[in-house]
Amino acid sequence: MTPLDQIGAVTRALQDTERDGRPARALVATQTYDAPLDDVWDAVTSPERLPRWFLPVSGDLVVGGRYQLEGNAGGTVLACDPPRALSVTWEYGGEVTWVDVTLSDAAGSTTLELRHTAVVDERWGEYGPGAVGIGWDMALRGLAVHLATGEALDAAEAMAWSVSDEGREFVTRSGDRWYDADVAGGADPSSARAAADRTIAAYTAVPEG
């Protein structure tokens, strides 16, 4: 599967919900991997394997413990039901959101559902679901490569790819798919399009220097 084919392997949806009595939206990304359940669970929870496709993680990785992803979010482990479900807070930039990962058997393969819930605020209105959705698409691509090959992604190569023509096309297609999901979830098309374009521009901006 090429990186651009990976875009079509993910099903995306937006759902209205609430969190702590406040209106919220849940971004839902689902992908089926040609790998057994236990292997996928180990890949998404093992501190030894997470850096091979995502980011190094540290902390007290038990229910109630704190975790920290290197250079990214940290939070609290809320629930863990091996090898089926994991729930954590996702704390970044002074904001708290929630991530739930659920695994299920699918005829010898494994279906992963990732749900990222955020309270609706001004940032959501400005950037829409692609703000986190594009990042999760990149992570799901890394997991697909790791499960298919057993290899670890090279951080330098991954960074170079992200600013390549193919990487920028991946981001654009991902942002467009999250726009489609946003509109299907009831968002105003013109507002959703503007938010998606802002997010795509932020992800594809060429770094200075």
Residue 167: pLDDT band with limits 50, 70, 90: very high
Domains contained in the chain, CATH given: 3-204 (3.30.530.20)
Which residues have C-beta within 8 Å of that of residue 133, sequence separation ≥ 6?
A: 12, 27, 29, 174, 175, 177, 178, 181
Residue 123 has pLDDT above 90, yes or no: no
Which residues have C-beta within 8 Å of that of residue 99, sequence separation ≥ 6?
A: 87, 88, 89, 90, 114, 115, 116, 117
Task: Tell me what the mean pLDDT of segment 21-28 comes to.
Answer: 93
Using one digit for the tens of pLDDT, what is the confidence trace for 137-146? Answer: 999 999 999 9
Which among 196, 206, 209 has a CA at the least distance from the CA of 14? Answer: 196
Question: Given this model, what pLDDT does residue 206 score?
Answer: 63
Q: Is the peptide bond before 47 cis (omega within 30 degrees of 0)?
A: no
Question: Given this model, what pLDDT does residue 83 score?
Answer: 97
Task: Tell me what the mean pLDDT of segment 121-139 comes to.
Answer: 92
Residue 163: pLDDT band with limits 50, 70, 90: confident
Could you tell me if 163 and 206 are in contact, meaning their C-beta atoms sit under 8 angstroms apart? yes
pLDDT higher at 63 or 121: 63
Mean pLDDT of the chain: 93
Which residues have C-beta within 8 Å of that of residue 91, sequence separation ≥ 6?
A: 73, 74, 75, 97
Residue 108: pLDDT band with limits 50, 70, 90: confident
Task: Tell me what the mean pLDDT of segment 4-26 comes to.
Answer: 94
Question: Given this model, what pLDDT does residue 159 score?
Answer: 84
Could you tell me if 67 and 47 are in contact, meaning their C-beta atoms sit under 8 angstroms apart? no
Question: Given this model, what pLDDT does residue 57 score?
Answer: 96
Question: Given this model, what pLDDT does residue 207 score?
Answer: 60
Which residues have C-beta within 8 Å of that of residue 207, sequence separation ≥ 6?
A: 163
User: How far are the Cα atoms of 54, 127, 156, 187 from residue 146, in angstroms, in the given order?
Assistant: 10, 30, 16, 35
Task: Tell me what the mean pLDDT of segment 42-59 comes to.
Answer: 96
pTM of the model: 0.94
Residue 37 has pLDDT above 80, yes or no: yes
Residue 133: pLDDT band with limits 50, 70, 90: very high
Task: Tell me what the mean pLDDT of segment 23-52 comes to.
Answer: 96
Q: What is the 3-state secondary structure (H, E, C) of 107-169?
A: CCEEEEEEEEEEECCHHHHHHCCHHHHHHHHHHHHHHHHHHHHCCCCCHHHHHHHHCCHHHHH
